[in-house]
Structure 1
């Protein structure tokens, strides 16, 4: 049995993805900062006969993120799929003229150092399997910078560039790196944005692959 590691796991998209992959025989590593919530999610999945366990980590603390991924790999099985989808902090989203250099440290740690740490931790295991998938989840500011969300606009651009480079470098090794852009956020009444629909899209990114970047829906004009 191999594992999907969901970084930023919660009761919405994370749980929906865990169920989708769990039904296909994956164990589920749930990674976030709150162990109590992770334990509750893991209990829910286990009640549905899906092997799951929570591992505490802060994506801005690279050592804790590495340790969580190492523990997940050892305790649940080799990580074949990595989903990087933590929710950005509100303080990352400030108007451009109110954003100073120090305000960009957190977003860069969150959206560039975090994915780079996670990717380099799981790539050797994917190579040993001869396959693997990494999915980066971002909002629209990753491709259309927003003047009111400067931190995420800048950091998501870096994450996008890093992901594209990984995609190009790893494709010959049967390791797929994908970015899913979700405009306007999860839910909100749009059927394509509901957690279950997004989980299905992420499953398809893993099975059918394709280009680096896909969109859950069209961007607003």
Structure 2
């Protein structure tokens, strides 16, 4: 059995993605900073028949991400799919003229150092999967492609992440490893038919199975459910 690792797992999109992939037979490694919340979500998923466990890590600490992914592999099996989707902190989103060098440290650690550490931990195992088909998925807000003057930290850091992810996509395609990005402009809309956590989870599942273009973009405004 192979594993889906969700870095930044929570009760919204993370839970929906866990259920979508879990329905296909994946075990799920839930990774975030709060063990109690992870354990509660793992128990909830277990009630749905999905094998899930929580592992704590801080995405701004590359060593902790590597350790969590190693534990997940040891306890749940090889990681076939990794999703990087933690929510950025509010203090990353300062107006451009108020943003100082120190204000960019957190966003860069969060959106560049963290993803690079995670990719380097899972990539060797993906290369040795018996059936191939490893997938790395990045989930970002609209500022990853359209910078916003009021969210400078995320705009700059997401741009760096986007460049890194695009380079990975191009470099790994010949090895059968797919790298994709899902852009969610304006955020998740739980009551929408096409921007709800479940609808977005389906987009991520389709990125994994169709292995097509690098980027998928959710609608700007969701349709009523």
TM-score interval, normalised by the smaller of the two chains: over 0.9
Rounded Cα–Cα distance in structure 2 between residues aligned with 1:80 and 1:143: 27
The structure 2 residue matched to 1:178, chosen from 167, 180, 186, is 180
How far apart in 1 are the matches of 2:102 and 2:41? 35
Aligned residues of 2:190 and 2:197 also touching (Cα < 8 A): no
**CA–CA separation in structure 1 for the residues paired with 2:166 and 2:91:** 27
Unmatched tracts of structure 1, length 5 or more: none
2:186–2:220 CA contact under 8 A, matched in 1: no
Contact 2:66–2:117 (CA under 8 A) maintained in structure 1: yes
Aligned partner of 1:197 in structure 2 is 199
Residue of structure 2 equivalent to 1:216:
218
Output the CA distance in 1 between the equivalents of 2:163 and 2:194. Answer: 25
Aligned to 2:208: 206
Are residues 144 and 39 of structure 1, via their aligned partners in 2, closer, same or farther at CA, if it must alter by over 3 Å? same
Q: Does 1:36 align with 2:40?
A: no
| Secondary structure, aligned partner of 1:6 | strand
Moved more, 23-32 or 128-137: 128-137
Aligned twin of 1:143 = 145
| Structure 2 portions without partners, runs of 5+ | none
- 1:131: Cα distance to partner? 2.2
Residue aligning to 2:53:
53
Superposed displacement of residue 217, structure 1: 1.4
- Render the CA deviation track for 1:55-87: whole Å, top value 9, x for unaligned: 000000111100000000110000000000000
Superposed displacement of residue 179, structure 1: 0.4
Which residue is 1:73 aligned to? 73
Distance 1:80 1:116 in 2: 17
Instruction: Tell me by how many angstroms 1:191 deviates.
Output: 2.2
Query: How far did 1:218 drift?
Result: 4.2
Give, in whole Å, the separation in 2 of the partners of 1:188 and 1:13.
10
Give TM-score scaled by structure 1 length.
0.97
RMSD after superposition: 1.2
* Aligned-partner Cα distance in 1 for 2:176–2:220: 29
- The total of aligned residue pairs comes to 220
CA distance in 2 between partners of 1:76 and 1:179 (Å):
25
1:169 is matched with 171
Q: 2:135 aligns with which of 133, 136, 144?
A: 133
How far has the Cα of 1:14 moved from its partner?
Answer: 0.3
Q: Give the 3 Å change call, closer, same or farther, for CA 101–167 of structure 1 in structure 2.
A: same
Moved over 4 A (4+): none
Deviation string, structure 1 residues 175-204 (Cα, Å, up to 9, x no partner): 000000000101164321100000111000
Closer/same/farther in 2, CA of residues 37 and 191 from structure 1, 3 Å limit: same
